[in-house]
Each structure stands twice: as structure tokens, then as C-alpha cells.
A and B are shown apart, each in its own frame.
Chain A
Amino acid sequence: MIDARGASLVSIVDGVRAGAFSAREVTEQFLDRVARLDGALGCFLKIDDTGARRRADAVDAARKAGRDPGPLAGAPIGIKDIFCMRGVETTCASKILRGFVPPYESTVTARLEAAGAVALGKLNMDEFAMGSSTENSSVKPTRNPWSHAHVPGGSSGGSAAAVAASLCAGATGTDTGGSIRQPAALCGVVGMKPTYGRVSRYGVIAFASSLDHPGPFGRTVEDAAALLEVMSGVDPLDATSIPAPVGAYRQAARAGREGQTPLAGVRLGVPTEYFQPGMDPEIETAVRAALDELALAGAKIVPVSLPHTKYAIATYYLICTAEASSNLARYDGVRYGLRAAEVRSLEELYTKTRGEGFGTEPKRRIMLGAYVLRAGYYEAYYGKALRARRKIADDFSAAFASCDAIVTPTSPVPAFKFGERIGDPLQMYLADILTVAPNLAGVPALSQPCGFTKSGLPIGLQIIGPALGEEICFRVGGAYESRTDWHTRFAPETA
């Protein structure tokens, strides 16, 4: 039996596939860890132990019967509570969806289960994925495993913290403006936001449809690659999914580990716009050191420019609030989720249900979005944001003419303390400053650990690839990981 703490997802899968241990044993071990450790961390909103055991037993039965138990056989994973699972309460950490049990399954969770992965339960998040600290969860905060006084980042904070604390070996997340990469950076794990349309959004509760990217978390680059390989692919239920064949992500991650100079011939662009005053000096130092390491691996470091970066945050918040105000219109108390009691009119049903059901941040974004879209102002706000978005996407296309991938910090600051930013939405919105542009451009971006601050908080390195260039991200990430040991460090454990 392997030690669950720090075990990589691929090592567990290899063991289950080889019969070294059963999926059920692994599942019990992880469920036990969740039971012992999650009280202090608050990663899980729901532990689906019955479902997990059923899935694990199915994997073991398949193996015993001589059938292929799947490329993720027995992999214990956590599911962000934004992915619908048939028969499992799915709430987006919002009061308005309390008690909502979907009668359908998201394409991502269906594909993961079909590949043999064992979902242990649903993970905490900022309500409707709106936030950068998971403090906006209507249920509870999630603590950063490296320091319980600090936030895990967000919105996929439960996913990042659960993987960092080895409560699961991998997890799903969604990234609308950095919601996979920023918590991955703050919790010291790997998070991957793929190309827009690479992973189906069917069954993933929408925040901002044109920016929402489902993706994986892993302890290692290869773990994330293994998960993404299964999650990816065209889906007839998502008209925006891309019909291109899925790349060999695991192989790309492994290729990065081979030889002395696995990145020979690879040009890595460093955009000056991503190293601005206000960045924590410890982060800049760590990222510069990572660039040196990547150069030693054979990469050529080249300066690139993404001149419209300064418009990214404004553009992002115009588009995401507009889409959010639209996507959240369906929560009216008529068909599912919360319905306010004792209402005397239709209007009161709406106002009371939505007033009681939504937290502060969704309300703020609904109002901003309704304002952005109101008649007569479309061109001034949304229309202009769409044009700026095009410019930002063009920046990336131009930059990728002279480099193969772009390397930047993931977050300008390490994990912050609870309450430090929650009262200042603008400050919170700036947590996304280095991550939103790839969402606007739809290009893939990976975050992986590249060091720690003196106070022991993780630092993240962001590797951005061109559209459908997931493989180069994994290759560069694999190369960097094989030359460093950040990913082998464990967060302190307190039961």
C-alpha cells in the first residue's frame, strides 16, 4: 500500500492497474484522510462515500474480470461543486441551489468515471465561482493547507487545498479569470486551464459562458495531464467544444523530463507587462529563478509584448458580469433550488428568492452586468469590451509568432489572510490581473509550484501556450518540475 499523503495520481493509477492494491483500498484510505483532516480545512461540501465505494468496486470488478479498468483506474479525485453529478447535490456553494440534485451528469464527470476515476465528493468554492479566495462560499471557508490563517485562493479553493493536503490525488476546477491557476499557485499544486472549447462545459454550472474553462488540478504536471487527457474532447452537448483530436498530454509532460536539455529549441516569451510594480518581490525573484532554470533546460528566453494587458481586467469584468447577470437569471424559485416562503405575488417570489438565495458577490455582479447590458449602453460597455477582447487575443497571436510559450508569475502575491481583501472588491479583482488575459484569449495556461516565500507560502509559475497548445505547456512544466523539488514538499498536517 502506498502512502496516500503526497502520492501522485499516476502512481496510484499504475498501482491499481497493476493490481498492487485495489481501488477500494485506495478509496478507503483517502476517505479516511478526508474524515480525519477536512474538519480543519473545509475542502469538501459533500462527501459521496457511497458513490465513491461503488465507483471503486466497479474498477476492481473490471480489473478482476480482465477488462481494462481505464486510464484513471482508482484515481481518487474531488469534484468542484460546480459540476453536476446525477443524484448528487450540486450547489455551487450557493444558498439558492441548496438541495438541488441534478438528474443529469456533466460530460467531464461522466468521462472521468468512465475512465475509472473515483470521485470522493464535491469541493468548496466561491459562490458561483465568483471570487479569488473561496471566502464567498455560502457554506464555509476553506483554509490554505500551508497556513490555516491564509486563504487557498479561488474560486476553486476547495479543489486546490484538497489536492495540496492529499485529501484527493486530483480534482476538477473551473477557471473563468484564474479560478484554477490562482488557487493552484496559492496552494502549491498544478492547475491547468485548457484552450476554450477543449473541455466540454455541459453540466458545468455557468458563471460567464464565454470565459468558463473546466480543467484539472494535480500534484504533478503529469497528474494534471493525465486528467486533462480524459476530460478533453468534442462533446455533442456543447456547441462550443472543439472537434480537434485530443493531444498526448501525459507524453508531453514526460518528454519534458527526458535528457539534459529537454527544452532545446523551445522559445519562451517573457512579457514585460507581467512584471510590474506592485508584484511581491519574493514572487518576482522566484519566477526569475525559474526562468533561469528553464534556460538551463535548453529553452531560449525571449522578450515578448502583450501591449493590451492593461485593459484585461476592465474587459474581463465587463464581459463576465454581463454574462453572469444573464446566466443567473434562471434562479427564480420556480423550478428548482431555493423558493422563498410566504410570497404574495410573482414579483415577490423573484425578489425574495433571489434576495435570500444569492450572496453579496453574485448580487454585485448581477447588478454590474445588468448595468453593462442596459439598452443604449451596449456599445459603450459590452461592445467595447468585445473589441478590447479581440485586441488582447491578437496580442497573444502576435507574441506566439516569436515564441512557443509565455512564462509569467501566476499571482502577483502569495496567499493572503482571511478578511484581508474581502471588504475591498477592487483589490480582490486585482488578484486575477495575471490570469484573466488567457481566459479572454481562450488560450491554455498552466500554473505549477516554483518556490515558497520566506513565510512558507507557495509561489506559482504560469506557462501560457497558443490555442490548442496544451502539449507545450505540459512539456515546459514537466521539464521545470523534473529539475526542482517544490512539488515533493508536503503541507503540514494537523488533524
Chain B
Amino acid sequence: MATDWETVIGLEVHVQLATRSKIFSWSSAEFGAEPNSATDPVCLGMPGTLPVLNRSAVESAVRLGMAAGCTIRARCRFARKHYFYPDLPKGFQISQFDEPICEGGAIKFRLKGEPRAIRLTRIHMEEDAGKNLHAAAGVSFVDYNRAGVPLCEIVSEPDVRSAEEAAEYVRAVRTLVRYLGIGDGNMEEGSLRCDANVSLRPRGSEKYGTKTEIKNMNSFKNVRDAIEHEVKRQATLLDRGERIIQETRLWDASRGVTQAMRSKEQAHDYRYFPEPDLPPLVVTELEQVALRASLPELPEDRFARYTSEGLSPQDAGVLVADRETAAYFDATVAAGAPAKRAANWLINELLARVDDPRKLGEADCPVPPAALAELVELVEDGTLSGKLGKDVFVKMWSERRAAKEIVAAEGLAQVSDGGALEEACQRVIAAHPGEAGRFKENPKLMGFFVGAVMKETGGKGNPKAVNEILRRLLG
């Protein structure tokens, strides 16, 4: 019988921190400037220049560590990691080696509704490298705008057990980063990057198998597909009795395969040693207290709150996935909408209309939370039917008008007035004597009458009231 292989995955996630300036110098850390315009002598590694640590990058790293429940080192060091590459201006990267700023902790999320906690080994700070651009005919350029952008590298324990879980883990990291407002976590732009160490072992075995490192996965889908492919590749080799070679493999998304990098490129001895140009980094207890106080309500805490307030785990999961969605929801509820209703409208109507939930948090969101709350109330109090409510929402979204304004302008308010409805019902019954006669043996005709009354009232009749009147008149 074939061996039952257990997948073992550890992840290294690089998060760019959205500070104004670079981690060790003054040029802008913003993405998207003209090549080599966001640079300065320090990030270009010019002779004689020195790094000076950007405290706001430290604050971001500490807040991330706190949000993940890490231990924060009161005193840590930077180290130089050496290798030659044109995008690395100094011939070394300033990183952290034996004294990372954060240790331990875990990233928490839910996989198919089940709570998961992937333990972290560490989070350390480092500088990003530039970017090589390969033009035609063997000509290459280097853009150093990215050189010196602050990074946090989040290293997990080998706790991840499937490709899907890996993708959810990375998504949870992004959610956390966005909740904290320390980065935009955009995988496509490279502000969030992920490498995976993948190995297999017979289920039940304590010993880890030989791992490969998978790089170049720049979307959640890539993460899942690449690891899935690698797991299959390794299982096939192992089933055939072959051995796994420890190596770095690049994911080729267009061909859907991982490929070994030339071994030469990975034969690195990084020659780490403490960075002499930077004094030890000290984060005082007072700073830690202030940073801890600055943490927002975190996704998993919000999830617990929402489910305790009666939301289904599915709805709560959708709402907490993005800080803006959750904030929108909270604001709608604060404006008076019942939680369950607000969640339905938000999930079914608003989220269906934005490609990125972060747009809900923007100032020009067509339907702000208070406006949605107003609409929900109109439906709740019977002024609008559910169907009319949706129509009004469409108008609110496209025309940026308030619900009450649309209702008043277009005379959409539902007719609940007993007298008017009774008259309409009487007219309909009088017009269809045959159907009225057959009603007693065939109560399904109720649908026909309700429809006719709604037509008579231009869709504005309160369906509940119409039902009651018809039942009385026909019964």
C-alpha cells in the first residue's frame, strides 16, 4: 500500500512596511516612483555613508510582533548578511541574525471554520534590495528605489499542513498587516512576499523529511498552486523510492511547475556579523506600553465579538477579513442597524460591488455606513419591501443619494394604509370573480391575487398587509 504522506510546511513571509522614508535613510519608501528617483547616497551604498535606523519602522515591527503575541526583545542587534548581486548596493544586506526583534507568537486564523494557530519562530527587521530589470539583448538595469525599504520577515514554525492552509496563513498575515496599518500587503506589487519550505514525511513520523524552498509565488493562488504542485512532485519521487534534494525551486506560474534554481546561486556563506554602524536597538518598557496601547481590535478578537453578538461564523469571517469591512459593519450597527441585517446588506450588496474591500473605507464610498443604516431601517419598519429596498440600494450606489430622498422623490414608500389596500384588494377580487370562486378549493391562487394587488399598487403594497386583507376578503 502507498505511504500516507503528511505535508509539512514552514513559511517565510516578507512584509514591506509603509513608512514614509527608508529604514536607514531619508529617501521616500513609496512604491511606483520613476526608477532611481527615490534614492539617496545611503541607500545606494555610496562610500562613507552610514545607516541611521528609522524609528517608525521599529514601531511597526514591534506592533506586528505584539499583534502576533511575540516576545519583544528589549535590546536587539542588526547584522550584515553578505552576498554579491547588482541590486544589493553595499554587497551586504542589513538584517537581523542572532537577535531578532520579535520571537515566538503565532498567526491565528480559521481554516474551513476550524481555528488554527501557526507558531512563529521569529520576526526580524531588514532592508529590501533594489530590483534588476532585464532589457533586451543582455542589457540589464537596476532600480534602487526599493533598496532600503523596510521589511519584516516573519518566519513560521513548520506547523502548516496543506497548500490551502499555507495560502490562508499568508492571507491572515496580510489581514494583520492591514489591520495594524503598517503596510498594504499587496502580493502582486511585492509588498508582501512569501517563500515556503516544503517537505513530506510518513504520517505519524516525528522526523522531518528533506525540504525544498519554493520561491517566486506572488499571489495567494500562486502559494496554493505552487505548494500543491511541489507536494505532488515530492510524493511521486518518494513513492518511487527516490530521494528529495534539498534545494531552492522557483514557481513558474505560467507553466504550473516548480524548477530547481542553479545550485551556484544558492551556495551562499552569508558571513553574518553584528552591524558596527548601528548601536544596539533598545525598545524601552515605556515604548512597549505605548505601542501595545496603540493596537487596534485584532481580527480574531473581532471574530469572537461578532459571533457572540449573534452573527454566523461564516458572516463574521467575511466581515473580519478586512479592517475596512469590519469598520464599515461596526459603523452601520452604531448608526442603528440590527447586526444581522447590516451584515446581510454589507456582504450581499456592498462587497459584491467593490473589487477591493478597502474601498469601503474610502471617503468617497457611494453608500457610507449611515446611509446603509437608514435604508436598513426603511426596510425594517416596512416602508420598503425587501425587493424595493434592493432597488433603492442600486440607486443609492449609482446616484449617491440618500435612501429617504429616493423614496420620497419616486413615491416608492410601501402602501401599508389599510383603507387604500383594502380598496385595491376589492377591485382585484371584483375583476377576477372566477379565480375568487375557486380560491377555497385552491389556496395556491393567493399568489395570483397578491401579484395582481401589487401590480395594482405599483409594487408599493406591503405584502404582509395585502396577504392579510386578501385572506379576510376571500376566506
What is the interface of chain A, defined by CB distance below 8 A to chain B?
82-84, 90, 92, 97, 100, 102-104, 106, 201-206, 208-210, 236-240, 322-323, 325-326, 328-330, 332, 334-336, 346, 350, 370, 373-375, 378, 382
Contacts and interface: CB of A to CB of B under 8 A. Distances in A.
Closest 5 CB pairs between A and B?
A329-B91, A373-B271, A210-B276, A209-B276, A205-B47
B271 A84 contact: no
B344 interface: no
B47 A237 contact: no
26 contacts: A83-B48, A97-B47, A102-B46, A104-B49, A106-B48, A203-B48, A205-B48, A206-B48, A208-B276, A209-B277, A210-B276, A237-B50, A239-B50, A239-B53, A239-B277, A240-B279, A325-B271, A326-B91, A329-B92, A330-B89, A335-B89, A336-B47, A370-B271, A373-B271, A378-B272, A378-B273
Contacts of B386: none
Contacts of A373: 82, 271-273
B127 to A, nearest CB: 14
Contacts of B41: 102-104
B60 to A, nearest CB: 19
Given A326-B80, A335-B44, A375-B271, A202 B86 contact: no
B50 A322 contact: no
A373 B82 CA distance: 10
Nearest to A386: B274
Contact of A326 (B51, B82, B269): B82
B90 interface: yes
B269 A330 contact: no
A326 B277 contact: no
Interface in B79-108: 80, 82, 84, 86, 89-92
A202 B48 contact: yes
Nearest to B142: A334
B272 A323 contact: no
B45 interface: yes
A328 B47 CA distance: 9
Contacts of B430: none
B304 interface: no
Nearest to A96: B47
B339 interface: no
A355 to B, nearest CB: 14
Interface of B is mostly: loop
B90 A330 contact: yes
Contacts of A104: 41, 46, 49
B52 interface: yes
A240 B48 CA distance: 14
B448 interface: no
A335 B269 contact: no
Contacts of B90: 329-330
A206 B92 CA distance: 14
Residue with the highest number of chain A CB atoms closer than 10 Å, among B45, B47, B49, B89: B47
Nearest to A383: B273
Contacts of B46: 102-104, 335-336
Nearest to A236: B52
A90 B86 contact: no
A205 B47 CA distance: 5
A336 to B, nearest CB: 7
Given A240-B277, A326-B91, A330-B47, 5 more contacts: A84-B47, A334-B142, A335-B44, A335-B46, A370-B271
Contacts of A202: 48-50
Contacts of B279: 239-240
Given A202-B49, A203-B48, A335-B44, A239 B278 contact: yes
B87 to A, nearest CB: 9
Nearest to B41: A104
Contacts of B278: 239-240
B47 A382 contact: no
A80 B258 CA distance: 53
A330 B50 contact: no
B43 to A, nearest CB: 11
B270 interface: yes
B277 A237 contact: no
B52 A239 contact: yes
